[in-house]
Every structure is written in structure tokens, then in C-alpha cells.
Structure 1
């Protein structure tokens, strides 16, 4: 998206000759320009530049020296070295910030609290306010305050990108695809005879808070091909669906055919006022193609609820002029799923802080709909250190390979989620590079779904293309498995291993 990023090159000594073996780049945590306000984006651009410069400094000397003379197939050992390096850098940065904070507090003069002027009492106003309180009955309980954001260390992208580059180098030197190498790292004792291509979650409409219409709730409307199809068949089906949607929009437009604005997610940005409208558009397009929504194609909605909260009102602004408290949000979403049973997944339906409502929603819909945490989830590093913080009310997590996350972290996280009977989805971040390694990671890690955005923009299309290539390779080798029917997991704390799981 025209912003600075980091690419890592790996050089190895092969037969006494130094050769560049591979390159790698991972996504950035930074927000794209159409998400932030202009002044915030200008500030973020400065931070991004500093982060990239710091990452290059780390790669250029300390990390290069750290990995020198090691073998690329020592992934666990090298990832430990990278993680330890990051831990030291993070501790030093926290110490520096603490000293800076103490210095500022010492230099700041003591603040004098100004005397509050006496407010003359006017019996009418007090009486009116009292009457208003009675009329309004009991006020709504305030929502829990937002948890502080996790700090992102400048330069941390160096750790994750070097870890990926090491894995790519090992795969190259073994003369095997990256997905096969990742699968062997995850299952070293029992190599899989078959690998599945994850089901694609393809964004077909962006109609969230930044779209021109009143509707805010649906940041992404996502189409998912039915299990049992090949990736190519499902991919072509969604392409036809999107083409049909464009055709219908052009036919309904008085101005005639026109190019539709594209979001950074690679999908059409459309204007809607009600939740039903984008879903009805998809269903009408499917019907025109003689496809059955709920059988041939399923739907998912990324609510991105954490982006919708008005903290002054203590409510979610699901549409301009329409605000709902957390309990009301549960009712809205349950009603939506009852009216549109083809919606089999909600992503970030509520804030992480609304734990009570997450539990209520999960209890109500877990047998027919996945609830995934993406932006509402903690970072992978934090969850590995504090596994009790993994959201038990979610069906699974959308994992992103960003910042200091190593390949070993991804393997451990996916294993931990499986042990908890939760699903892992591999997803892209907003600031995504054109490196297609995420597709290999999704296959090698055995992801159930892969969330790459829409069918436009090169950084997303290259990943879809890579998945098509991987499927062809596996089919030629007779090692291609097919995804089975959707299987909605039971709550991991309530699983009875003596009983068959729900499907």
C-alpha cells in the first residue's frame, strides 16, 4: 500500500560458496490509511518509518551475528534465540520508558487544584433533573472500560520475518515446498500422508464504518464455498458470485455500469442502511447462478465490534443513529442468525471486554455458527505465555503472523487451540505484503479456514494463486485431502470425551 516494510534475505554457505537462498516478508500491525484519521495516519507513518529502521538495524548486525554458523533446519533453536533477543529488547525499552516517565514526573511542577466556584441552587433545575431521573427509570449499567492496548515494540517485525525466512531457507535447501516443511515441523514423529487446503473465507463486500451508507456493523461480508469441493471449484464459484453481484448492481444503477471502489481488503465498498441488504444481495446473486446459499455457499460476517463502540454512550453504533448496548447486541446477532441460517461464522461480534455477552451469544449459537476472535484476541505471544487468556467463549481464533511471532509460536499456538477443541484460522493483516508464504503456512499448519480478503489487490491475489498451485501439487502426488462438513465445536471446558462430538 505504498508504505515502508521489511524484507529479509537469507544467505547460506553451500559447497563453500555464499548464496542467497530466499527472501521473506510478513504483514505489519500498522493500520492502512483508510482506517485511521488523517492526523493519526501521519503520526502512524512516522512510527512505521522508525519501526522499519529499527528492524533493519536489528537484522543488519545483532540478528545476523546471532544466526551465523547455525543450520536453517534448527527452527526451534533459532526461534528460541530470536525470542530471547526480543525479550531483552522489550525489557530494555520498558525500562527506558519507565525512567522517562519518572523524569517527567520529577520535572513537572505540582498541580494546584483550582477552587470550584459555588453554583447557585435553582430549585427548578434540581427538581427537573430529579423528575427526569424518575422518568428514565434505572440507568443502564456502564460497559467495562477498554483494556489497554498491548505495546508493540519498534522493530519487532524483524523477529517474525527472520523466523519465516529461516523456515523458507530450510525448505529450499531440502528441496521441498514450504507447506511440507511446516507440516514436518508440526508433526515430526508422524508425517501426514494427506494435507488439506483450508476453506477460503473470501470477502465479497465491505460495508463497515468507513462505507458511505448508514450501516456500520458489517466490516466484511464473506462467502465460503461448501466443504467437499476442491479449492479451485470453490474459488471459481465465488468469482462467479462476485461477477453476478457486480452485474446486478450495474443493472440497478440509474447511471449505468461504473467501477466500484475497492477497500484495502480487496473487495467492493458498498453503501447500505440495513443489515439485511448486503446479505440479500449475495443471496439474489447466488439464486441467479442457480446456487443455494446455505448449501453450495455459506456466509460469514466480520462485525469488527471493537471498532463500533461509542464509549461516551457506552454502546455499539451498529448504524448511524442506531446504538445498542452489549445485551442488545446479543439479541441483534441471534435474530440475524435465525433469519439468515446460511451465516455460519461471526468474527469479532463483541468486544473482548464483554465477557458475559460473549458467553450468552456462544451458548445461543454454538451448535450452528462459529464465533471467531480476530481483532478482539490478544497477541499470539501473550496467549502462549498466559493460556488462560484464550477466549473460551470463542469457537476459535484468527491468527496473524505479525511482529515478533515466530514459526515455532504459530505451531505451538495451533497445537494449543486443537487441544482445547478450538479452531485456528490463518488470516492476513490490514498492512499485508505480496509474500505468498501465508498460504503455505495455512496448509502446513492444518488451518480449517484461511481469511485472505477479497479477489482484488496483488497482495491478496498472490496468496489465492499460491493455494491453487499447492492444490495442484498435492493432487499430482495423490496427497490431497478434502475438507469434511462444517463441525461446530463444543465449549472446550464442557467436552465429554466419552461422547461423539457435535457435527
Structure 2
């Protein structure tokens, strides 16, 4: 096996929203070739690693030719000749080459594409599936799919403030059946929406985006769909929420304006009180970004009140960054961190963030982005990281379904060794 890198190149492709992103190719000395495509977020935290855009007229200022050039020139010149199996060394070499805290010189989209493609190539030349190469020989746990079924906020143009309502098949016996539970309920919800004269168009991540009379009305529609699909809420299927509270907190502090639904202005205390009422009424097992990224005290109060009942997940507040996760652990801000590869920009840093969560007794929740590609790297990575759950979008849109289908393949490959459990 000769895993020396002999070639690195990139090109500009389109993501699921029709915006440019980076695809990177890596070739090794033994002829192994691999490619990786970088996702892009719409609802982003202000401290995320920088997704480098050209800022010029083409593609409405969203082109990524500069990031592509950085891969083809600076990064390629630096990494060619290095050993692909030395992932940490390669990733930190790129971090040093960039030299900025947010990867703003080369672009996190340039760096991550190379990081992912190198890992894929190393797995191929090692004759291992990617999940086993990254996770080790005992990797057997398939994540519970938290499937987006209804969209609002930044992911839809409708009257729902909260960004994602997800179905969680935590009562299913395995991934295959869990996927069936949520897919069947997704289709039942479509019939219910159609019967009520509500839109059945979908948002960026494939969830339906109807104009509901309130945020609570969206929850009631989901409960109805679970029942009509023949499942028991809280037993077979539970609910996960991503409020993405940044989107209705103008100053990212402790003031919230739920304009889309007409619920009006709320303080942190009022929003926490509303959340408590929902937790008593609905089978919610996970709540992501219930408050904005600047509302650290509010987040801690939310966790103090509800952290023993549910998984309180920080996304925009932590941005897969050890600096902010460490602060969250010290302040008891949450009990789980959302993990997105492109928020931090390398595989190595992502794994380090996950390790920090594990050591603190926190959970971690692997996630896609709203601007995705058909690349299934995330599926293998979620299995390798043994986190127990994953959100990859809904039961429609090819870039989402591809990730679920890859997990079906992995579960089939593992056979009776495959594990499936929420905790």
C-alpha cells in the first residue's frame, strides 16, 4: 500500500439550493482516487469557520472560485507528498497554512473538501469502508434518524417561527424499521395537509412548509400524522425541535420576536415558560437552539429546568468549536452539542470536539446542512462517531435520501452486529 498523495484538485459545483460549493479530488501514488463535496448552511452561527465566497457578480456573489484556487494551488503544493493516512497531520498542516482563527484566508470550504477527500482516499487504499476506517474495527452503531418533517424559520417561507420539527423513531427495533416509521408518517402528513388545503411544498431540507396558524398548530399536525400512521407518540415516534432562535432574536440576546407566527415578542423567561408547557404536552426528546447564541444565561436556565428530561442541544452557540463547547461545559449551558463538519472545517477538529463532549458526559448530534450535496460522507462519519442520532433531512430530495440509503447499506453490511438505540 502506497498512500502518498500525488494530486489534489478542486472544481466549483452546485449544492441542493443551486448555489456554488467546492468538490475536491485526491489521488494517491497507488492510483486510488476519491472525491468529496462540501455542504453549506443557511442558518449559521456568527463564530462558524468562514465559507469563502468570491463576492463578485457571478452566482449573485456566491461563487467559490477563490476557494477552488486555494485548493488547486496553495493546499495542493503543500500536501502533495504527504501520507493520506496521517489525517491529523494533514489537517493541522492546512490549519497552519491558513493561519486564521476562522479559516478566512483559504476558506473552510476549501480546507474541509480536502480533509474529507483525503479520508476517503485513505479508507479506499486501506481496503476499509469509510465508517470503519474512521471509527475502528468495533464500529457497529447505526444512528437513529431524526427526520425533518416540517420546516419553518430560515428554511421555509411560511408562518412558522421554529426552523425544524423532526420525527425520531426511538421506539423502532432497527434503522431500517425506524426509517420506515418516519417515511410513512411523512406521507401521511402530506395527505393531512392536502386535506386541510395547506401547502405540501417543501423547504430546503425536504420538510413540508405549510402556513400554520401558530407554532403549536404545527406540532398538532405532527401528532395527528403519527396517530394516523398507526404509531404511538412518545413510544414509537417522538419529536425533536430545532428552534434556531437566532432567526427570531435580532440582537442574538434575550429578546425574541416570533413574527412569522404572530406570537409576538417574548423575553427569555417567557420563551422558557412556553417550552415547559410544550414539554408537558408533547413527546419531545431533543430541543436544539431553544435560545439564541448570545443568550448564555438563558440557555443555562433552560438546561437547568429541562436537561434531566430532554437533550438540550447547542448549535449556533457552540459551532462545533472546542472553545465554545468548553465554555458550555463549564457553565452547564446545555447537555449536547450539534456537530457539523463545515462549522469547524476539518475532520480532525470535528473529532476533537466530539471527544470533548464524550469526556464531559455530553451527547453529540451529527448534522447535515440546508445546502447539501449527494455526498454521503456524513452517513459514514455518523456511524464512525457512535453518537446515536443524526439529522440528514426529510424523506424526499435526493441529497437527503442518499444519506439514509447509505445508512441502510451500512446496517445491511453489519448484519446482526448492527446496534440501534437512542441512548
Post-superposition offset of 1:75: 1.2
Residue 6 of structure 1: aligned partner: 22
Quick one: structure 1 residues 314 and 44, their matched pair in 2 at CA, closer, same or farther if it must change by over 3 Å?
A: farther
Answer yes or no: is the 8 Å Cα contact 1:158–1:404 preserved in 2. Answer: no
CA distance, structure 1, for counterparts of residue 398 and residue 85 of structure 2: 31
SS in 1 for 2:152: strand
SS in 2 for 1:7: strand
Residue 48 of structure 2: aligned partner: none
With 78-87 and 432-441 compared, the bigger mean Cα shift is at 78-87
Post-superposition offset of 1:375: 2.3
Q: Does 1:300 align with 2:300?
A: no
CA distance, structure 2, for counterparts of residue 214 and residue 228 of structure 1: 32
With 204-213 and 156-165 compared, the bigger mean Cα shift is at 204-213
1:70 corresponds, among 75, 82, 88, to 82
Answer yes or no: is the 8 Å Cα contact 1:11–1:21 preserved in 2. Answer: yes
Q: Does 1:60 align with 2:72?
A: yes
CA distance, structure 1, for counterparts of residue 405 and residue 343 of structure 2: 25
Post-superposition offset of 1:389: 5.2
SS in 2 for 1:268: coil
Quick one: structure 1 residues 42 and 348, their matched pair in 2 at CA, closer, same or farther if it must change by over 3 Å?
A: farther
Post-superposition offset of 1:45: 5.1
CA RMSD of aligned residues (A): 2.6
SS in 1 for 2:371: coil
Give the structure with higher Rg (CA). Answer: 1
Q: Does 1:82 align with 2:94?
A: yes
Post-superposition offset of 1:61: 2.1
Q: Does 1:388 align with 2:327?
A: yes
Post-superposition offset of 1:313: 11
2:226 corresponds, among 277, 283, 286, to 286
Residue 436 of structure 1: aligned partner: 376
1:414 corresponds, among 331, 351, 354, to 354
Q: Does 1:481 align with 2:419?
A: yes
Residue 183 of structure 1: aligned partner: 135
CA distance, structure 2, for counterparts of residue 281 and residue 427 of structure 1: 24
- Equivalent runs, 1:152-163 vs 2, <5 Å: 152-153=104-105, 155-163=107-115
For structure 1, the 5+ residue unaligned runs are 33-40, 92-149, 185-190, 487-503
Quick one: structure 1 residues 323 and 24, their matched pair in 2 at CA, closer, same or farther if it must change by over 3 Å?
A: same
Q: Does 1:369 align with 2:310?
A: yes
Task: With the length of structure 1 as denominator, give the TM-score of the two structures.
Answer: 0.73
Deviations 1:11-61 (A, max 9, x none): 1122xxxx35111112124669xxxxxxxx998955532xx2222222112
Answer yes or no: is the 8 Å Cα contact 1:213–1:273 preserved in 2. Answer: no
With 62-71 and 330-339 compared, the bigger mean Cα shift is at 62-71
Deviations 1:102-133 (A, max 9, x none): xxxxxxxxxxxxxxxxxxxxxxxxxxxxxxxx
CA distance, structure 2, for counterparts of residue 59 and residue 209 of structure 1: 30
Q: Does 1:322 align with 2:239?
A: no
Q: Does 1:461 align with 2:401?
A: yes
CA distance, structure 2, for counterparts of residue 482 and residue 12 of structure 1: 35
1:245 corresponds, among 189, 192, 198, to 189
- Equivalent runs, 1:116-195 vs 2, <5 Å: 152-153=104-105, 155-184=107-136, 191-192=137-138, 194-195=139-140
